[in-house]
Structure 1
Amino acid sequence: MYDLFAALLLGILEGLTEFLPVSSTGHLLIAERWLGHRSDLFNIGIQAGAILAVVLIYRERLVELTRGVLQVDQSSLPKVDGDTPRVYAFKLAAAFVVTAILGLVVKKLGFELPETVTPIAWALIIGGVWMIAAEYFAGRRALTLGERARITWTVAILVGIAQVVAGVFPGTSRSAATIFVALLAGTTKRSSATEFAFLVGIPTMFAASGYELIDVVRSGQAAHEPWGLFAVAFVSSAITAFIAVKWLLGYIQSHRFTVFAVYRMILGAALLLFLPSGA
């Protein structure tokens, strides 16, 4: 019964934090200190559940982009943040390619996630401070430039780099890094920056999960996986992520990201204060 509860809780935690700018990896690494370490396949499964939720939310946009890429005459198609669907899709592809190349380089260099909470706590705090500063400067930039929804090629490339940086430093948050890089680089409309960050996260996270899944299957770990717990975690992650992303997309229409920055700083400070050094 405890294992079932732990699987449910970890699935919910992944769903809540994967696309909110608070760092899912950081939260899961912390939670595993109390709920126990899970297999690589389990972690892949709950991440896949969260990705599925975003695919469902953006299913119409994904169909629109697919049709746009295949259709020869782009003039009759509705624009996506000022671009034709094909150009927008190519920008998503550019961000993904940058992430994939740099991600493979990081993998070859032997990068591993930290085994202690301290670096995650500092990443949460520093990331929170950075979010407040980034929102301030992005706001000033918006006042100067006006509302800009277009994703430039520069923004696309920087978003790809930001995804890798977030993966190297757990606690940074992939969504926070990509959204704020887009805002600072010229896309002043929060909803447009968020949509691009979430859409590019779909192929990125599916590719990362698939890459890890191949290793898990080759090692034989899949044969020993408790599939009942896996299913519970997958479903709970998907449902929770769907609700969380839907809420966030509505929230950012009229609110800043400050509340998430404050939460990160409070959580990071609490971890440093109440957990022994090297925990």
Structure 2
Amino acid sequence: MEYINVILLGIIEGITEFLPISSTGHLIIAEQWLGERSDTFNIVIQAGAILAVTIIYWRRLMELALNFHKPENRDYALKLIVAFGITAVLGLIVKKLGFQLPENATPIAWALIIGGFWMIAAEALAGRNPPTTQISWTVAILVGIAQVVAGVFPGTSRSGATIFVAMLAGSVSRAAAAEFTFLVGIPTMYAASAYSLMKTLKDQGTAGEDWTLLAIAFVVSTIVAFIAVKWLLSYIQSNRFTVFAIYRIILGAILLSMAYAGMIA
């Protein structure tokens, strides 16, 4: 049964990490039925999802690194670096201040609902102007800030917040916004995972960890995230994000009802 539970958690992480529906929110709720996991476990399955996106974008990353001398690549790479730098600095400040919302169903449900309506409104507003594939400095700065906001509020969705900020700030097309935010997310999430892992190992060690279960969850998360992101990149070429917004609103309403009924905490 334990193997089934970790496989399910790996699947949930793989599907939800980069879809705009909040992986943190889904995992917090799922753990109420599948059993709470250690911080190390959660870091490991997130690392699997990051690896999947790294594999998907490895050609783009190599192009930016090896052809940095080209003006268009240098400009794009510098904007990625600035966005990551803003996230890193603000993220450390937030960590030092100890600001974090309670990770229970009610705030997550409200974040899902509000985020759903925000997505519908944001895409409608962004759609009024001709879409562009160019990423402006304003977009880079706001994406960096949005990543921190999403990290503070469980249920917000890092990918959702950053993609729609990019679309609103520069009328960026869905595909261009998704690529930029995913590329920014790679170093951001690696750094956050490494920071969290070192802190966890320092405070708690690895006693009691089942490395077989960790390995299974990591592999499952990697494979599922790879499939989910490839599907998403294809889907948004000709479709809006409306289906994800509706899903968030419905799920949030269900979670609120269950929380008020005392079925979940």
Deviations along 1:127-160, whole A, 9 cap, x unmatched? 00000000100111x2xxx231110111000000
Q: Is the 8 A contact 1:139 1:188 kept in 2?
A: no
Q: Is the 8 A contact 1:92 1:200 kept in 2?
A: yes
> Which of 121, 124, 127 matches 1:136?
124
Counterpart amino acid of residue 226 in structure 2: F
Q: Which amino acid aligns with 1:17?
A: T
- Pick aligned residue for 1:92 from 72, 76, 80: 80
Q: CA separation in 1, counterparts of 2:220 and 2:99?
A: 30
Show the counterpart of 1:14: 13
Contact 1:187–1:193 under 8 Å retained in 2 = no
Is contact 2:100–2:153 with CA below 8 Å preserved after alignment?
no
User: What secondary structure does 2:206 align onto?
Assistant: helix
Match of 1:117 in 2: 105
Aligned length, in residue pairs? 263
Q: Which amino acid aligns with 1:152?
A: S
- Residue 189 of structure 1 deviates from its aligned partner by 1.2
Residue equivalent to 1:197: 181
Question: What corresponds to 1:235 in structure 2?
Answer: 219
Unaligned segments of structure 1, at least 5 residues:
75-82
Given that 1:150 and 1:187 are in contact with CA atoms closer than 8 Å, whether structure 2 keeps it comes out as no
Q: AA paired with 2:47?
A: A
Structure 1 residue 220: Cα displacement: 4.1
Q: How many angstroms apart in 2 are the aligned matches of 1:102 and 1:42?
A: 25
Residue of structure 2 aligned with 1:186, choices 170, 178, 182: 170
Which segment drifts farther, 168-177 or 110-119?
Answer: 110-119
Residues 241-268 of structure 1: per-residue CA shift (max 9 Å, x gap): 0000000000000000000000000000
1:79 maps to none
Question: In the TM superposition, what whole-angstrom CA distance separates every residue of 1:66-110 from its partner, at most 9, and x where no partner exists?
Answer: 1122x4xx2xxxxxxxx6111111100000000001101110111
Offset of 1:36 from its aligned partner?
1.1
Q: Which residue of 2 aligns with 1:175?
A: 159
Q: TM-score, normalised by structure 2?
A: 0.96
What's the offset of the Cα at 1:216? 1.7
Q: Cα distance, 1:217 vs. partner?
A: 1.8
Which consecutive residues of structure 2, in runs of 5 or more, have no partner in the other structure? none
Contact 1:41–1:213 (8 Å) recurs in 2: yes
TM-score by length of 1: 0.92
Candidates 245, 252, 265, aligned match of 2:249: 265
Same amino acid, percent of matched pairs: 66
Establish whether residue 102 from structure 1 lines up as the match of residue 90 from structure 2: yes
2:163 alignment partner AA:
I
Aligned equivalent of 1:148: 132
Partner Cα separation in structure 2 for residue 67 and residue 217 of structure 1:
35
Closer, same or farther: CA 220–269 of 1 in aligned 2, 3 Å:
closer
Give the 4+ runs in structure 1 shifted more than 3 A: none
- Matched residue of 1:223: which SS? coil
Matches of 2:171 and 2:126 in 1, distance apart? Answer: 9
Counterpart CA distance in 2 for 1:217 and 1:186 is 41
Question: Amino acid of the residue matched to residue 56 of structure 2?
Answer: I
